[in-house]
C-alpha cells in the first residue's frame, strides 16, 4: 500500500477531489496548510507599516492507495492540481505498512 501526499493550491482542491472520485477513490483527508517554495509571499500594509507575509496558504491532501493503483493515482492528482503557474505545489508517495478501518478492524486493502 502507498500513501500519496500532495500540497497544492487551495483553489485546485475541487479538481483533485473530482478526479479522484472519478477514478473510484472512496476517501480523502484534507488539511489546511501553509508554507513556502519558489512562490514568494506578498506584502500587506497597515497604516504605512509594511509586513511581508512569507507563508502562502495551501491545502495538504492525503490518500491511501493499493500498490497497483498508486502510480496512476499520483498522476491523476498531479494533473488535476496543475495550473502551470508557480506555486502549484508538490506531491509525493511513500510505502505504508498497513491500514486499519477503525469501525470494523479490517486491515490492508480491505480497509481502503
Give the binding site for another protein (CB under 8 A): 44-51
Beta bridge partners of 2: 65, 95
Between residues 52 and 98, which has the closer beta carbon with respect to another protein?
Answer: 52
Q: How far is the CB of 44 from another protein (least distance, A)?
A: 7
In the complex with another protein, which residue's Cβ is closer, 49 or 94? 49
Tell me the chain's radius of gyration from C-alpha atoms: 17
- Is the Cβ of residue 44 or residue 106 nearer to another protein in the bound state? 44
Q: Are 58 and 9 in contact (CB under 8 A)?
A: yes
Closest separation in Å from C-beta 36 to another protein: 16
Is there a contact between 10 and 83 (Cβ–Cβ < 8 Å)? no
Amino acid at each position: 500500500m502507498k500513501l500519496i501526499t500532495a500540497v497544492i493550491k487551495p483553489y485546485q482542491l475541487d479538481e483533485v477531489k473530482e478526479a479522484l472520485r472519478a477514478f473510484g477513490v472512496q476517501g480523502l483527508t484534507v488539511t489546511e496548510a501553509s508554507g513556502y517554495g519558489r512562490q514568494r509571499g506578498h506584502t500587506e500594509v497597515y497604516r504605512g507599516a509594511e509586513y511581508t507575509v512569507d507563508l502562502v496558504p495551501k491545502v495538504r491532501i492525503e490518500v491511501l492507495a493499493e500498490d497497483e493503483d498508486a502510480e496512476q493515482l499520483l498522476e491523476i492528482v498531479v494533473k488535476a492540481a496543475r495550473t502551470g503557474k508557480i506555486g502549484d505545489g508538490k506531491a509525493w508517495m511513500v510505502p505504508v505498512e498497513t491500514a486499519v478501518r477503525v469501525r470494523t478492524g479490517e486491515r490492508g486493502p480491505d480497509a481502503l
